[in-house]
Amino acid sequence: MKHWSEIRTTYFVAQTGSISGAARALGVHRATILRHLDVIEHELGAKVFLRDGKGYQLTELGEDLLRVAKLTDEQFNDFARRAKSQQGELEGEFILTSLDALAHLLMPAVQLFSQKHPKIRIRWLTSAELMKLEYG
């Protein structure tokens, strides 16, 4: 479905039980919430909420949509946490090959790289012989 914003809005209306609560939680105007609900109900071709004196009650379709939206929201939040924790951090193994004669010229750059990226393990292979990288 191409209407994630509207689904997310529906999720917040269900969580808070009101248009105003969803608007506050999402930091948008009430009119935006109402427009999103209209769009999602038009897209689905059915009502997601029953509107009565008690507020907004989910229909059976709304309950289904809520399950999907909740799971999707949790996955997005989990992804965002993982992305933030890895932000700018490189890790793993880095294999550098060079000629023996160039090692003294490359050493300052390798040391600087190692300081900037402490989670990277550097394997530095130097030799005067030709190394065939395609064979590892």
Q: Which residue has the tokens 């907004």?
A: 56
CATH number for the domain including 28?
A: 1.10.10.10
Q: What is the pLDDT of residue 130?
A: 73
Nearest one of 3, 32, 6 to 19, comparing CA atoms: 32
CATH number at residue 104: 3.40.190.10
- DSSP sequence for 1-57: ---HHHHHHHHHHHHHSSHHHHHHHHT--HHHHHHHHHHHHHHHTS-SEEEETTEEE
pTM, two decimal places? 0.57
What are the residues whose beta carbons fall under 8 Å from the beta carbon of 52, sequence distance 6 or more? none
Domain assignment of residue 78, yes or no: yes
Q: Are 9 and 65 in the same domain?
A: yes
Q: How many domains does the chain have?
A: 2
User: Count of CB atoms within 10 A of residue 19's CB?
Assistant: 21
Clarify whether residues 67 and 105 are in a common domain: no
Residue 52 domain-assigned (yes or no): yes
Q: Which domain holds residue 114?
A: 92-127
Quick check: is 136 in a domain? Answer: no
At a CB cut-off of 8 Å and minimum separation 6, what does 125 contact?
A: 95, 96, 97, 98, 131
Bin 92: left if φ > 0, else alpha if -120 < ψ < 50, else beta.
left
Q: Same structural domain for residues 108 and 57?
A: no
Can you give the pLDDT of all 136 residues of the chain as single tens digits? 577 889 889 999 998 888 999 999 999 999 999 999 999 999 999 999 998 887 788 999 999 998 888 888 888 888 888 777 766 677 788 888 888 877 888 888 888 888 888 888 988 888 777 766 666 5
d(CA 84, CA 87): 5
CA distance 47 to 71: 21
Check if the beta carbon of residue 19 is closer than 8 Å to that of residue 34: yes
Domain membership flag for residue 12:
yes
